[in-house]
Structure 1
């Protein structure tokens, strides 16, 4: 059993008293448009998928007990505001929630925690960096160069919102949620999102993403998704090992 919320209160006490160091994972995502083919919850699906795979990989580890917290599905999501389905919270709300959750757990003895995020809107990422630093917990920052260098070429290009990278991951984890017929009709859209942001473009429409995607979703495959999940899980297991050491 790897889900924290599935445990009873006495079972949580047993985890704290047990010989293995407990490490909790907090998956974070957002509710925002991911093209006409991928679900609004793409980011949280990827974060939760990473956490589940890391917990499974370490299920029999003699030193570490990994438990996955309920996913935080809401984030700072302003770039997709022009499209139906985007749900945003303020940076202050996200900051307070992360800090409060982490401090509540730490007060019980769960001091080892890794926040796992796959929604990369700059205000969201910056909020998570500040909140995790304030709470004294780890943050697996996938956009840091050393981590991004281990991911796919599309991810590194910056044209990866609902493109080949993200769509492949959803195909590997929740394939029924991808409209593959629509996906196959979408032409590549090579938008360098970091460069566009640096130019002051503050939403998908201003970036030329009139269908809320960039990259090459038609090239997505579940095989690529499985391979990328392997790499993401490697990164997360390394973060867990660091927190537990």
Structure 2
């Protein structure tokens, strides 16, 4: 089985004494506008796709048993608040959700949990980092976090991602085309001009809304250049990074 919530209770009990080390992936995203062409749940869809591909990657592994927890679809997302469909939760709410879910698992002896996030609003990312620190302080447990905006990870991703133009642009749209092409309005996508906005730089300059950043249609980058082929290649890179994080977590006592 792939999904933790599809197991029966005795099967979860057996995870704790089985020959394979259980590692639980927690996909995290947000519900927010992604241009006129991509779905609100883009970030969570990408996180879930990464997890599913990682499970397939480890399917024959004799040491690790990988399972996907029910996703956390909501995140800290203020920048697109003026666009229809944005659903924001506070930093404290997200922190509590992550910490309490992880605590419930840790208390059952399932302490290898790995956060898989693809929503990069700075306050959201920092909240996840804080949740990892909280688990260490409260329980002495290291929760994994594939933090894609860390330099060592970002350097392996596409030029658009590294340029900070990665909201509903070529990078994210390609990932959607590789996994859920039916959710992309391809006709609209092909008409969209490139929007050159470096989101981290804009945030550093005090911009706190998509409009203030110059993202009048809630996207930046070049979605018209997206392709499923690029998305598949990017997924290979993402899953390789995720696999490394899984193996590192599985080694921990």
- Residue 78 in 1 paired to residue 84 in 2? no
Task: Give the CA deviation at 1:160.
Answer: 1.0
- Residue 156 in 1 paired to residue 173 in 2? no
The counterpart of 2:225, out of the listed 219, 224, 235, is 219
For 1:1-245, what aligned pairs fall within 5 Å after superposition?
1-135=1-135, 136-245=142-251
Q: Gaps (5+ residues) in structure 2?
A: 136-141
Task: Give the CA deviation at 1:236.
Answer: 0.3
Q: Count matched residues.
A: 245
CA deviation digits over 1:7-56, x for unaligned, max 9?
A: 11111112222110000000000000000000000000010011111111
- State the alpha-carbon separation in 1 of the partners of residues 166 and 71 from structure 2: 22
Task: Point out the more displaced range, 177-186 or 5-14.
Answer: 5-14
Q: Gaps (5+ residues) in structure 1?
A: none
Runs of 4+ with deviation above 6 angstroms: none
Q: Tell me the TM-score normalised to structure 1 length.
A: 0.99
Task: Give the CA deviation at 1:60.
Answer: 1.3
- State the alpha-carbon separation in 2 of the partners of residues 172 and 44 from structure 1: 15
Q: Tell me the TM-score normalised to structure 2 length.
A: 0.96
SS in 2 for 1:108: coil
- State the alpha-carbon separation in 2 of the partners of residues 66 and 5 from structure 1: 13
SS in 2 for 1:143: coil
- State the alpha-carbon separation in 2 of the partners of residues 123 and 160 from structure 1: 17
Task: Give the CA deviation at 1:115.
Answer: 0.3
- State the alpha-carbon separation in 2 of the partners of residues 21 and 159 from structure 1: 38
CA deviation digits over 1:137-175, x for unaligned, max 9?
A: 111100000000000000000011000000000111111
